Amino acid sequence: MTFTHSPADHPLLQPHESDVLRTVATFAREVVGPGAAERDAIEKGQVDWATVREGHALGLLRMAIPRETGGLGLGQLALAMVLEELASADPGMALVFGATGLFQTPLLVCGDPRLQERYLAPFLGPEPVLACNAVAEQFNGTDLVLPQNSPHAQNMTTARRSGGEYLLNGTKRYITNAPFATFATVMANLEDHPGSTGLTCFVTDLEQDGVERGETHDKVGYRTAPAGELVFTDARVPEENVIGDERGGWDLNVTVGNLTRVGCAAIATGIARHSLTRAHAWCGERRQGGRLLYEHQMSARKLADMAARVSAARALYVDAAVKADTILPTPAYEPAVAKLVADRAAIDNADAAMSLIGAQAFQRDDGMDRVLRDAYGPRIYEGSPEALALVITDELYDIPGVR
């Protein structure tokens, strides 16, 4: 089968990144993929610690942490390719590792050595530690993605200054890894600023008074990745735990979002690739009308479109990753375009695979229903198509900042 790339051979990867990719490809194929169906049936809010532990042994909870301090030191390109590999096997598992990386991203972006030393070191130990990035809330989703929505945010989680610390109050919702996370980056609005215009990013210990795990979510897809609420009631956070500046949350959110969209596009590409792999195998074996399915022109067209979508989605996220690795500030346009195209590819390829595989794909034990459910995830998080359209047109018309 020639359409699956050999990611480890990409010429822009460093030798150590190629080694990681080879190892991850094997892990995805031999460990993550075979357990995907079982994990899909997992009780809500649980996590497959055995696989997380194996991934941790490979370094998947410290992917972007520099090598000098014990991490894998992956750039955005290698990171995204790792996420594609994991997502082609089980996108929920890509999210468990990816969300922990998402917690680390603001710390790595802001570069405060004290915070990095304290909050990145736990990921270098022998036991796996999960973390999360807590932005979304019941009333505020896109209002925390698009700066132009920010004056309209309602009932935001607040941060009130009290001496040398802040008190956080509010509830974060839909947060990947929340049920088991030890740490979170929390976006809270500085009290007395309208909407979410006073957004400030705090790095927070979750094992402390004033923090509770709220509702655990029963998601239809990505069931491998536990998700839930975090409830803050006068939770104390020392002032040195502000990442970046007070009220600097939007700038940080936008930068982190631009970086994260590259990985989200890669995850969506992995989902699209899985559908292609399934359809390719089926159409190469299944005969109808005396021919293999791929020999029928209409089916061939479907397969070719699926392959083209995977290639296009991958080319776009690779382009976005290379730019994110080499250009400061991180560009907004390329990651948004990559995610927009990859979201669509994941859904369209799941749809095409369902129709090519037919009744077999409609059986619960076949696994395609999981792919169909998982395929919708990237459509929702880290920028809906409508939000991405606004980011892209702002860039096209060169509209700086707020619309």
Ligand X SMILES: Cc1cc2nc3c(=O)[nH]c(=O)nc-3n(C[C@H](O)[C@H](O)[C@H](O)COP(=O)(O)OP(=O)(O)OC[C@H]3O[C@@H](n4cnc5c(N)ncnc54)[C@H](O)[C@@H]3O)c2cc1C
Q: 88 or 149, CB closer to ligand X?
A: 149
Please say whether the dihedral angle defined by the alpha carbons of residues 305, 307, 309 and 311, taken in this order, is positive or negative. negative
- Lookup: tokens for 335: 């990651």
Residue whose token pair is 């089980």: 90
Q: 181 or 306, CB closer to ligand X?
A: 181
Q: 51 or 185, CB closer to ligand X?
A: 185
Residues 149-178 as x/- pattern, contact with ligand X by CB under 6 A:
x------------------------xxx--
Q: 116 or 185, CB closer to ligand X?
A: 185
Q: 172 or 302, CB closer to ligand X?
A: 172
Output the smallest distance, CB 313 to ligand X, in A.
18
Output the smallest distance, CB 262 to ligand X, in A.
16
Output the smallest distance, CB 382 to ligand X, in A.
7
- Lookup: tokens for 51: 């696989």
Element (H, E) at 175: strand 165-176
Phi, psi angle pair for 214, to nearest 5°: -90, -140
d(CA 116, CA 27): 29
Q: Which residues pair with 187 in a beta bridge?
A: 201
Under rule CB under 6 A, which residues in 285-344 are in contact with ligand X?
A: none
Output the smallest distance, CB 4 to ligand X, in A.
25
Q: 141 or 198, CB closer to ligand X?
A: 141
Under rule CB under 6 A, which residues in 67-86 are in contact with ligand X?
A: none
Q: Which one of residues 83, 110, 136, 199 is an interface residue with ligand X (CB under 6 A)? A: 136
Under rule CB under 6 A, which residues in 176-215 are in contact with ligand X?
A: 176
- Could you tell me if 376 and 221 are in contact, meaning their C-beta atoms sit under 8 angstroms apart? yes
45 touches ligand X by CB under 6 A: no
Burial of 154 (0-12, 13-18, 19+ CB in 10 A): exposed
- Could you tell me if 37 and 56 are in contact, meaning their C-beta atoms sit under 8 angstroms apart? no
Q: Which residues pair with 213 in a beta bridge?
A: 230
Output the smallest distance, CB 139 to ligand X, in A.
8
Output the smallest distance, CB 132 to ligand X, in A.
6
* Of 25-33, 79-87, 143-151, 283-291: span binding ligand X (CB under 6 A): 143-151
Q: 7 or 92, CB closer to ligand X?
A: 92
Q: Which of 237, 233, 255, 260 is nearest to 83 (CA)?
A: 260
Q: Which residues pair with 201 in a beta bridge?
A: 187, 243
d(CA 142, CA 153): 9
Q: 14 or 142, CB closer to ligand X?
A: 142
Number of CB atoms found within 10 A of residue 124's CB: 14
Residues 218-237 as x/- pattern, contact with ligand X by CB under 6 A:
----x----x----------
DSSP 246-304: TT-HHHHHHHHHHHHHHHHHHHHHHHHHHHHHHHHHHHTT-EETTEEGGGSHHHHHHHH
Q: Which residues bind to ligand X, rule: CB under 6 A?
A: 99, 132-136, 141-142, 145-146, 149, 174-176, 222, 227, 377, 380-381, 384, 386-387
